[in-house]
Structure 1
Amino acid sequence: MTDFQSSQKRVQELHELLNRYNYEYHVLDKPSVPDAEYDQRLHELISLEEQFPELKTPDSPSQRVGGAILEGFSKVEHKTPMLSLGNAFNDQDLRDFDRRVRQNAGDEVQYVVELKIDGLAVSLRYENGVFVQGATRGDGSIGEDITENLRTIRSIPLRLRKSLSIEVRGEAFMPKKSFEKLNEKKIELEEEPFANPRNAAAGSLRQLDPKIAAKRNLDIFVYGIGDLGETGVERQSEGLDLLDELGFKTNLERKNCETIDEVIKILHTIQEQRNTLPYEIDGVVIKVDALSQQQQLGFTAKSPRWAIAYKFPAEEVMTKLLDIELNVGRTGVITPTAILEPVRVAGTTVQRASLHNEDLIREKDIRLGDYVIVKKAGDIIPEVVNVLADHRTGDEKEFAMPTECPECGSELVRIEGEVALRCINPMCPAQLREGLIHFVSRNAMNIDGLGERVIAQLFQEGLITDVADLYELSNDQLLALDRMGEKSTENLLNAILKSKENSLEKLLFGLGIRHVGSKAAKTLAQNFETMDRLMEAGREELLAINEIGDKMADAVVTYFEKPEVAQLIEELKSHGVNMNYKGPKLVAPEEIDSYFAGKTIVLTGKLEEMGRNEAKAEIEALGGKVTGSVSKSTDLLIAGEAAGSKLSKAQELSIEIWDEARMIEELKK
């Protein structure tokens, strides 16, 4: 047996193994092997596919990590429309629905009650058992192709247990734990958190970079078959059983009911228990079970007559506002937080709720001592909905935002065009503490083991006041901290030592310069190459870089003009922290002997011989600039297979157009 044949056989074995492990873990919730075993087998599969690329197939378990960045989402026409459901808001609405059903389908009616998952409706299409396309609901008739993002959801089978051609419908969602972790990370990076898991799921599946979706830990429940075809299914409940057999993940909380009274009893039980579920639901869906009766009942213009959604009311509770606490973020923004008398809302005890900013407090006329109505936005994030002014006794006190920082006493300012108040004292303890947390984060200096707890201790003990102090920490100082043993201390000191070798862009991002994210930090590092050159750069020199705008240029100049920043950089230098860019250097277009030098180029369609990212990297290495949209400033469009609207626009603008073969020929010169 040749190496290829033995590898082919092993790849097939790994497909079967990994698909079984994946089904046991993500569908049955009964893993049969530890994560390390799964990872080892997956790594073996990826190695074989790299050695023999022809063995990599669309249904390979290796395809769940996210592929190349997409240009956009193409449109998908649903063969069977994805209609919305009519709503019921109380028991009487359900009884009216039952009466209409029986008038048109007879008294022998049975219902299936299913949980209404709060997520994003999607369709999944399989050909001969292989997943080939996934789309959003869109307007019900036409959705968007999000196949590559859906591949990253591990509970979606890439190959069915039977070789069927079938389209199924489901609800993609983000589990509560995944949502909480995602928002914690966003808050840590001072980004706007998602309001609820539904928005988080939708936002994740509409990312043009599938690798982002892969990191979001999404899940799915499949609830129906779009086109029954030759499945032989006669009832909704039978269809769900078939989906189970094919390897899909369905929601097992479904119930079969003989009467509408039974339906009502069950849905009230579900409403009481909803907060114990690991995912969000916003109601239940009631469907006539027999497909023949569904066909008999038919549809209105917008929804089926054989199904209805019972929507749970949002839970709102009354409590007392005891105080308003002010928090200072890394960039000095002052955020007010309501301190409440503890109250149960949607399954958890709430004592704090965000008030966002001073304008919201004024708009709602929120006063200390007020009785307020609180709910969880999306049943997750506590917010003050309203003030009960008629409960006031006269003892309530109007709240005024301070004029001085609650942490350092410096004067607060409101920058023109912004809602938030800011402390602009660079030595503010709260900002320093938050800045230290940012400095050691993964996308910055990546100092593993320096979490918020350790930094808070170091700060409290006076061992660190700025980022330079991290490089003076000793073994004895760390061992004296709570829960720091010899091994963890050794690992932390090694991580601090290793961070000194980081390329310049990591340091720039870690310094927390306003408006400078990780991408902008790399752009600055590439263009200036050393910290000293960047510190000397003026506003005009910064603006000469395409990616740098007015706000960022001003922020960079202002930051490096501060004497304390110059002192900090000198201290970091003295500790041996690298101040140079270590990545591939930029070369001025005029110094490059290449057709691409100085030109703006757009790639579109599928490139057969060279991946999109590889082509972009090679063109940029030769002085070209690759952008994502066609405009009058575009010099060249390279069109691969199935090029669409970008090709049409380039033709309209008389832009030069090449195919992939000509691009490769030019790259080889």
Structure 2
Amino acid sequence: MTAEEKINILRNELREHNYNYYVLDNATITDYDFDVKLKELQALELAHPEFYDANSPTLRVGGEVTKNFETVKHEFRMYSLDNSYSKEDLEDWENRIKKQVDGKVEYTCELKYDGASMSLTYENGVLIKAVTRGDGFQGDNVTANIKTIKSVPLKLKGDFPQKFEIRGEIVLPFDGFIKMNEEREAAGEEPYRNPRNTASGSLKLQDSSEVARRPLECLLYGLVGEKLPVKTQMEGLEEASKWGFKVPSIAKLATSIDEVIAFVNYWDIHRHDLPYETDGVVVKVNNLQQQEELGYTAKAPRWAMAYKFKTERVSTILSEITYQVGRTGAITPVANLEPVELAGTTVKRASLHNADQIEKLDIREGDMVYVEKGGEIIPKIIGVNLEERPINSTPTKYIEDCPECATRLVRTEGDAKHYCPNEKGCPPQIIGRIQHFISRKAMDIEGLGGETVALLVENNLISNYADLYDLKVEQLLPLERMAQKSAENLVAGVIASKEVPFERVLFALGIRFVGETVAKKLAKHFKSIDALMLAKEEELIAVDEIGERIAQSVVAFFGSSTSTDLFSELSPSAEENRDIIERLKNANVQLQISESELANQTDTLDGNIFVVSGVFARVSRTELKKLIEDNGGKVSGSISGKTNYVVAGENMGPSKLAKAETLGVAIISEDEFLAMLGL
């Protein structure tokens, strides 16, 4: 037998033993025998480097050091999930679903494991990439660290697609967490706070051999890709298990919301018997075609819902109410609490939201308050124990002046928050606007963090985000903790941000009410900052999903109208904003849609509303919708009298077909639609 043949045999044997032990929980070999085979393989690979394999079982022990984790764009966005807390929430969700899809609707119920979300990409059965969720659009490439997790298959078995992604959760079992803390305490180190944060933090360790020492597991829950060989979510879970993935067997098929609730109620009690942390149940429409029909909102799939288990509640004393100033000048009152343990973390602060909330709950300093975690993440005060209220208690008087610059606060009609109107001179607003500009979803400037922004502002090196593009390395060197390399990286990161596309630059500008989704719509419609700056309020309102409030805010920001409105007093001068835009132009920041993007866009379908239904042969549903939008059309999820065309594929729902015919909406095939575009 040749060395190459022996190496391949050992690799296959060790992969199978790994699968049996870490996925099936069924060891077929002793630890000693496994180690003997592993050492034999290591010796052979060392003697024959020409047979190197990046996915060899010997590399499970790690050793690769990653200084900086590469940011990678997700090919398929990782959405968040909408939350529900009652049977009524789920029934409302089901009613919305049944209005949009035909036929019987079934649901898969899966436990929502509390860990770190992960997307794994496989090509030809080999793991090629592992990326964290990040902001959903892009995440960090942590492939070297993920390869050390024994329940992640490096090579697949059976009949799998040529290329696909699979989503899962990296978790730290309770037993492993306890053992890690015992070892830390024995070494005189501070114990970790909870399994979830420890699992998440493990993924960003620079030394993969350290990750290999941690008993992490990967629980997989969803296939992603084009033309997958499955028709339902449940079938996807079953196939993934055959390919070698660790898929929890607890998932159940439900035919009604009553069955979903029964699943939730059972696991709300029995989850404490599980080896992992869980915080709820994820309910998904089982049929993948129905999932496609339902599509997505700006933040979440319409076909999935997270039902959260009852939250833990604790009581503690509210020591002091302080006030924070945000980048828009919004004032947020904060409850400073006597530290209390809640859902695995120590809670010291909680948002009180606004003056109305304080008045509604009659919250006062010195009160014993009840605290929960919203979605088991964000602490919030949900009430006051009036029986424990001190005799000398006095009602809370909301502040009248800005705590940072002493400017008199304003509150406009219909707005829940108070604002500091001193946008030019209030330090947290100046710093906050620049921090928003450099943030990951905006300009994503490498080498520049929030603390450094504050340092630059405090040292009078910048006062707005356009100043960033004038920074020089020699200006940065005198700053605290700023070495030559750090300064060079910061300047390089600023230069690289000039390639960020227009829609993200528009979001980065920090126009009030212009979030990611609105920025995309405005960029797509107006195509350049110049056109947007000239837009009147009525032109903005005519853009799909742009309301009066957003339109007034944009007009006030650029000064494209002389009318006074409720936002004008909250904005820095339009003249200053225009000067900043001009400086960004001179710095060659992308302030219009690129020529390559424009080349793929036309007005061929302008003014037409399309509904897409069924399965398509020549292009995917996602590509078809993009073609509609790139050519000026609008995609709608339901048929109405305003619909111009229904693009019908195979298995189009009969009720949609009947409704289109009743309303006289034109029904066209995939080929007819593509012909409209000359394709």
Deviations 1:20-67 (A, max 9, x none): 999998888x9x99xx9469xxxxxxxxxxxxxxxxxxxxxxxx9749
Q: Conserved in 1, the CA contact under 8 Å of 2:271 and 2:278?
A: no
Which blocks of at least 5 consecutive residues in structure 1 are unaligned? 1-13, 40-63, 85-115, 120-153, 164-171, 185-203, 212-219, 226-242, 253-266, 284-310
Q: Conserved in 1, the CA contact under 8 Å of 2:434 and 2:465?
A: yes
Structure 1 residues 73 and 156: CA distance shift in structure 2, 3 A: farther
Q: Conserved in 1, the CA contact under 8 Å of 2:366 and 2:390?
A: no
Corresponding residue to 2:598 among 585, 592, 613: 585
Match of residue 491 from structure 1: 489
**Structure ID, larger Rg:** 1
Deviations 1:583-627 (A, max 9, x none): 5339998xx6x6x45432222111111122333344444444333
Q: Secondary structure at the match of 1:344?
A: strand
User: Which amino acid is 2:613 matched to?
Assistant: T
Q: Conserved in 2, the CA contact under 8 Å of 1:600 and 1:625?
A: yes
Match of residue 570 from structure 1: 582
User: Which amino acid is 1:537 matched to?
Assistant: A
Match of residue 338 from structure 1: 335
Q: Secondary structure at the match of 2:334?
A: strand
Could you tell me how far apart the structure 2 residues matched to 1:19 and 1:419 are? 60
**Aligned-pair distance for 1:324?**
0.8
Alignment of 1:321 onto 2:318: yes
Corresponding residue to 1:460 among 446, 458, 461: 458
Match of residue 533 from structure 1: 531
Deviations 1:427-485 (A, max 9, x none): 23212222211111233222122222222222333322210121122213333444443
Could you tell me how far apart the structure 1 residues matched to 2:630 and 2:593 are? 16
Match of residue 434 from structure 1: 432
User: Which amino acid is 1:637 matched to?
Assistant: V
Q: Conserved in 1, the CA contact under 8 Å of 2:333 and 2:353?
A: yes
Counterparts of 1:167-178 in structure 2, within 5 Å, are none
**Aligned-pair distance for 1:643?**
0.9
Q: Conserved in 2, the CA contact under 8 Å of 1:338 and 1:355?
A: yes
Alignment of 1:628 onto 2:641: no
Match of residue 553 from structure 2: 555
Q: Secondary structure at the match of 1:342?
A: strand
Q: Secondary structure at the match of 1:340?
A: strand
**Aligned-pair distance for 1:74?**
6.8
RMSD: 5.4
Q: Secondary structure at the match of 1:442?
A: coil
Could you tell me how far apart the structure 2 residues matched to 1:38 and 1:533 are? 52
Could you tell me how far apart the structure 1 residues matched to 2:415 and 2:526 are? 31
Alignment of 1:604 onto 2:613: yes
Could you tell me how far apart the structure 2 residues matched to 1:324 and 1:374 are? 15
Q: Conserved in 1, the CA contact under 8 Å of 2:108 and 2:234?
A: no
Match of residue 370 from structure 2: 373
Could you tell me how far apart the structure 2 residues matched to 1:312 and 1:553 are? 39
Match of residue 677 from structure 2: 667
**Aligned-pair distance for 1:544?**
3.5
Q: Conserved in 1, the CA contact under 8 Å of 2:113 and 2:278?
A: yes
Structure 1 residues 534 and 244: CA distance shift in structure 2, 3 A: closer
Q: Secondary structure at the match of 2:598?
A: coil
**Aligned-pair distance for 1:582?**
1.4
Match of residue 657 from structure 2: 647
Structure 1 residues 325 and 444: CA distance shift in structure 2, 3 A: same
Match of residue 95 from structure 1: none
Of 485-494 and 335-344, deviating more is: 485-494
Match of residue 403 from structure 2: 406
Could you tell me how far apart the structure 1 residues matched to 2:104 and 2:502 are? 44
Alignment of 1:419 onto 2:416: yes
Could you tell me how far apart the structure 2 residues matched to 1:68 and 1:270 are? 26
Q: Secondary structure at the match of 1:401?
A: coil
Identity in percent: 36
Q: Conserved in 2, the CA contact under 8 Å of 1:468 and 1:572?
A: yes
Could you tell me how far apart the structure 1 residues matched to 2:245 and 2:113 are? 22
Could you tell me how far apart the structure 1 residues matched to 2:464 and 2:443 are? 14
Could you tell me how far apart the structure 2 residues matched to 1:280 and 1:338 are? 28
Equivalent residue pairs, number: 461
**Aligned-pair distance for 1:655?**
1.0
Deviations 1:301-346 (A, max 9, x none): xxxxxxxxxx999654443211012112222222111111223334
Could you tell me how far apart the structure 2 residues matched to 1:628 and 1:269 are? 38
Structure 1 residues 650 and 425: CA distance shift in structure 2, 3 A: farther
Could you tell me how far apart the structure 1 residues matched to 2:278 and 2:661 are? 48
Q: Conserved in 2, the CA contact under 8 Å of 1:323 and 1:369?
A: yes
Structure 1 residues 346 and 244: CA distance shift in structure 2, 3 A: farther
Counterparts of 1:233-244 in structure 2, within 5 Å, are none
Could you tell me how far apart the structure 1 residues matched to 2:12 and 2:420 are? 56
Corresponding residue to 2:360 among 360, 363, 386: 363
Q: Secondary structure at the match of 1:397?
A: coil
User: Which amino acid is 1:631 matched to?
Assistant: S
User: Which amino acid is 2:415 matched to?
Assistant: E
Match of residue 381 from structure 2: 384
Deviations 1:394-427 (A, max 9, x none): 3333222112222222232223223222223322
**Aligned-pair distance for 1:548?**
2.9
Alignment of 1:658 onto 2:655: no
User: Which amino acid is 1:603 matched to?
Assistant: V
Give the TM-score normalised by structure 1. Answer: 0.56
Which blocks of at least 5 consecutive residues in structure 2 are unaligned? 1-10, 26-33, 43-52, 57-73, 80-96, 115-148, 160-167, 173-193, 202-219, 226-232, 251-267, 282-307, 560-573
Could you tell me how far apart the structure 2 residues matched to 1:501 and 1:516 are? 21
Q: Conserved in 1, the CA contact under 8 Å of 2:611 and 2:643?
A: yes
**Aligned-pair distance for 1:659?**
1.5
